[in-house]
Amino acid sequence: MASGKMRNITFAQAVRTALREEMKRDERVIVFGEDVGQYGGVYGCTTGLQREFGEERVRDTPISEMGIAGIAVGAALAGYRPVAEIMYVDFLTHASDGIVNNAAKWHYMSGGQFSVPVVFRSPGGGGAGYAAQHSQNLEAWFAHIPGLKVVVPGVPRDARGLLKAAIRDDDPVVFIEHKAHYGFKGEMPADEELIPFGVAEVKREGTDVTIVSWSRTLTFALEAAEQLAGEGISAEVVDPRTLQPLDITTICESVAKTRHLVVAHEAVTFGGFGGEIVAQVTEHAWESLDRPPLRIGAPFVPLPYSEPMETFVIPQVSDLVARVRAYLG
């Protein structure tokens, strides 16, 4: 960041930038998945990579998520740094044998003889009209698995810096992007930047309430904070950026200042990762809280297709504004 020059890019371009930079830096970085080659990925995150790095390092796979995950694990065990794209988070269920049973366990189970430096990139989330089987938010599942690291970037700069760190990490990483957010634009340093795991960022400072949020909902929280400011409510927005490892310290420090905690995510509230954050804050910083924390998430339903229903289920900016206002009222 020496020059301090910034570029305005989309989330998808940020992902692609990270892949390209890391592939240039380390020839052990290989990319594969469905449609990632000539086509550039269904969301354009690998555009041009096959032309630049060749068909050996950027491979189209058949529709074989179990195979993709297993091959990624095997290649990682042999010293490569595979970045496997699983086209939708929902299809991680197919890939989960490789991710959950093998990638997460091999280092521990072998007594530390092997490491598994693999990244599973996958777009999650709704808002694009893909209905119940192409829109889920499963980050809490993977954050629950010892051995995995879970990254949930919300803005382009973080997507690039965290993906680079993920590729260089010696452990398996589940890197969840948001499919309705690939066109979202933001500032990114022109120079290389790595963002370490387990370091939350206060995305907006405030004094009345802490809103913890990630992925696309983070940008909703920032918009909501802007609107609340107009009503005289000062919201601090904290982005954990990685759920495993989780920087609970920064969250607790913020709550100590604001004395109010809201966690907002797109996943179903019940059993969602918001529950873990609320539990940890109440355990570590109970005396900081002036009232019980609030979780904002989706109701306990599969995501419906029709737009009015989908919009109703996914927490929107207006929902965040109304619920934070009511929470403080």
Partner 1 sequence: MAGKDPARLLHFYEDMLRIRFFEEKVRDVLLPQRLFRGSSDLYIGQEAVAVGALHALRDDDPVISTHRGHGHALARNLDPYALFCEIMGRTPGTCHGKGGSMHIADAGRHFVGENPVVGSSAPMAAGLALACALERNDRVVACFFGEGALNTGAFNEAANLASLWRLPVLFLCENNLYAISVPLEKASAITELENRACCYGIKGQRVNGMRVMDVYEAVSQAAGPMREAAAPAYLVFDTYRFEGHHTADKQTYRPDDEALRQFRERDPIHILEREMIEDHTVDLDTSIAYRDRIRAEIDDALARALEAPWPEPEEALVGVYAKGEVE
Residue bearing tokens 């940008």: 219
Question: How many CB atoms sit inside 10 A of residue 106's CB?
Answer: 18
User: Least Å distance between CB 193 and partner 1?
Assistant: 21
Q: Which stretch binds partner 1 (CB under 8 A): 78-86, 134-142, 229-237, 257-265?
A: 78-86
Of 167, 171, 185, nearest in space to 31 by CA? 167
> Does 80 sit near partner 1 (CB under 8 A)?
yes
d(CA 131, CA 313): 11
> Does 279 sit near partner 1 (CB under 8 A)?
no
Using the minimum distance from each CB to partner 1, give the nearer residue, 71 or 218: 71
Question: Choosing from 21, 22, 34, 65, which is the catalytic residue?
Answer: 65
Using the minimum distance from each CB to partner 1, give the nearer residue, 121 or 149: 149
Are 59 and 31 in contact by the 8 Å Cβ rule? The answer is yes
Q: Which stretch binds partner 1 (CB under 8 A): 2-10, 38-46, 141-149, 278-286?
A: 141-149
> Does 280 sit near partner 1 (CB under 8 A)?
no
Question: Choosing from 34, 107, 134, 260, which is the catalytic residue?
Answer: 134
Half-sphere exposure of 202 (CA within 13 A, CB side): 17
> Does 98 sit near partner 1 (CB under 8 A)?
yes
Active site residue 144: no
Helix 215-230 vs helix 317-328: crossing angle, to nearest 10: 60
- Cα first-last separation, the chain: 42
The backbone region for 303, taken as left when phi is positive above 0, alpha when psi lies in -120 to 50, beta otherwise, is beta
List residues near partner 1 by CB under 8 A.
30, 56, 59, 61-62, 64, 66-80, 82, 97-98, 101-102, 106-115, 117, 146-147, 149, 170-171, 245
- Residues with a catalytic annotation lie at 65, 134
